[in-house]
Chains A and B, each alone.
Chain A
Amino acid sequence: MKRIIVGLALVVVLISFKGLTDKYVVKYPVSWPKPVYDFKEKPLSKKVIQLGRDLFYDPVLSADNTISCSSCHLSYSSFTHVDHDLSHGIENKIGRRNSPVLVNLAWQKHFMMDGAVNHIEVQGLAPITNPLEMGEDLNRVIDKLEKTGYSFKFKEAFGSEEITGERLLLALAQFQLTFISQDSKYDRVIAGGEVFTEQENKGFLLFNKHCNTCHTAPLFTNGGFENNGLPLDTVLNDLGRFEITQNEEDIRKFKVPTLRNISYSYPYMHDGRFKKLFDVLKHYQRGMESSSTLSNHLKDGLSLSNNEILDLIAFLRTLDDKSFVFNPSYAFPKEK
């Protein structure tokens, strides 16, 4: 009897130990707000993350097998489509919007520039099925995955070979939830390990005065929707949040993006109209168009001198996180 009990105890310990090693814990500074994603309720699994990574880089998700998530979300540019104002999908089709960075997604309530997607676990559906992006059908993707050896990978990740929409989307979400950027110069200054240069410090003070209300530290976004006075591009005719809520108060409002890794994410704004940070700040200095939905925080204009613009840019550069863009676990998975 004793032997049986000892044997059982050993088995129990081994099983729970294996469970522990597969769990992936997302680390972030204690001073940060609590993530929106409930990691306690839905812990991440290393195996599911690995599967998500394979899928993220696999163009099989697209109708003509040429476009993967990484086509518009490249890890070396903080997961955005660098140097493209609008992204292009299958068959050289051009999309409507600029690809955003994928950073600290666990803190986001809304996804896409107009907040069309309400949860990271369902976000993958949008580009996969958008005819201008990957142009595929979920069931066809699953069929292709079954034929290209993914059943084994799904078994590794989920315990059985079944490939479902739920599992596919969850794997993509879990991989993206690991994208945590918290090691910029700014973070190190706040933690006490470094100091700003004089110019960066000037920029920091200007930032707190003019920008922090919407681009709130430490995430550098308040997660809300604002109209920042961009004149309407009458060809794209993108009314932003209004297209989802149909609420007139939301006309031309777009999700406030994070400013982290901003040097890597040019061109800027929802349609990539500004190539340089200097252009962005010039817009705020004197380019804003008045309208009924213009942000309350911008209605009085932003008085910035040209020197102040340079100071601000110096500060914004301190939000760049090299360890994030060169993180090997975000990059293209190499075969073992």
Chain B
Amino acid sequence: MNIQGKFKEKELKFNHYYSLEKDSAQITSLKFYLSNIKFLYQGKVKFTSKAYYLVDLSKDKMVDIEIPKHLKFDAIIIGVGIDSTKSVSGVFGGDLDPQNGMYWAWNSGYINWKLEGNSNLSTKRKQSFIYHIGGYDKEQNCYVEKEFVLKGESLNLELKLEKLLENLFSENFFLMMTPGEDSKKCNQYFLNALVQK
């Protein structure tokens, strides 16, 4: 699977200012979890990968998923974030290790996606925007699965950042670091911005 950060159709460069209509923004950090990846054929789930992937778009472009040989599939379902069962099952290592800075110490649970940067549109300190979106418990749940129908041999995804930022800024969301209704709104924008090429 290929995942690419895109800003206005060009590959995302970190720590580089982009223009948004009349204004500008730069991304300094962008990480997210992908999990429970299911492979479907003709509408039925044929294989579910048990692995959890932390994608850091400043360095990762590809996610390698191990699947059985000769697996036939025409659609993929991807979970964005970490599901609630995993979130209450204790500590884990590898991509799930709290060392990755994607786990809340003060309110147990994973940060599904982290987006940080600066924009002259931000009213916050240092004109920053910080989104740490998570939450798994009942109404706070931000774990959502999205289905992609395969167009070719591998899945090529894009995260359309100018669209994501415009949506977030339009709601006046610049700092979002706790679970709740607003985080869920942000999460929906993220999902909308994650599309197949």
Contacts and interface: CB of A to CB of B under 8 A. Distances in A.
Interface of A: 42, 116-122, 125-126, 128-130, 138-139, 142, 164-167, 169-170, 173, 244-246
A166 B91 contact: yes
Q: Which of A119, A126, A130, A165 has the most CB of B within 10 A?
A: A165
Interface in B82-137: 87-94, 96-99, 101, 103, 105-109, 137
A19 B98 CA distance: 29
Contacts of A166: 91-94, 96-99
Contacts of B92: 166
- Of B88, B91, B107, B137, most buried by chain A (CB within 10 Å of CB) is B91
Given A120-B90, A125-B98, 4 more contacts: A116-B106, A118-B87, A119-B89, A138-B98
B103 A122 contact: yes
Determine the interface band of chain B, counting residues with CB < 8 A from chain A: 20 to 34
A324 B33 CA distance: 43
Nearest to B135: A246
B106 A122 contact: no
Given A118-B87, A121-B91, A173-B91, A164 B97 contact: yes
A283 to B, nearest CB: 29
Interface string B44-83: 0000000000000000000000000000000000000000
Contacts of B96: 166
Contacts of B103: 122, 125
B52 to A, nearest CB: 13
B99 A122 contact: no
A41 to B, nearest CB: 10
A139 B99 contact: yes
Contacts of B99: 138-139, 142, 164-166
In the complex, which of the residues A119, A122, A125, A167 has the most CB atoms of chain B within 10 Å of its own CB atom? A122
24 contacts: A116-B108, A118-B87, A118-B108, A119-B91, A119-B108, A122-B90, A122-B105, A122-B108, A125-B103, A129-B105, A130-B105, A130-B106, A138-B101, A139-B99, A139-B101, A164-B97, A165-B91, A165-B97, A165-B99, A166-B92, A169-B98, A170-B91, A244-B107, A245-B137
Nearest to B87: A118
Contacts of B137: 245
A131 B15 CA distance: 28
A117 B179 CA distance: 14
Nearest to B99: A165
Given A142-B99, A164-B93, A164-B97, A126 B106 contact: yes
A152 to B, nearest CB: 20
Interface of A is mostly: helix
Interface of B: 87-94, 96-99, 101, 103, 105-109, 137, 140, 179-180
A164 B98 CA distance: 9
B95 to A, nearest CB: 11
A111 to B, nearest CB: 8
Contact of A122 (B91, B93, B101, B180): B91
B51 to A, nearest CB: 16
Nearest to A125: B105
A82 to B, nearest CB: 25
Nearest to A246: B180
A169 B90 CA distance: 10
B90 A119 contact: yes
B107 A122 contact: no
Contacts of B106: 116, 126, 129-130
Contacts of A121: 90-91
A128 B105 contact: yes
Contact of A165 (B89, B98, B180): B98
A166 B101 CA distance: 12
Nearest to A163: B99
A83 B189 CA distance: 50
A240 to B, nearest CB: 13
Contacts of A120: 90
B186 to A, nearest CB: 16
A17 B143 CA distance: 44
A118 B110 CA distance: 12
Given A122-B91, A138-B99, A165-B98, A117 B108 contact: yes
A169 B140 CA distance: 26
Contacts of B140: 245-246
Contacts of A122: 90-91, 98, 103, 105, 108
Contacts of B105: 122, 125-126, 128-130
A243 to B, nearest CB: 9
Contacts of A169: 91, 98
B56 to A, nearest CB: 15
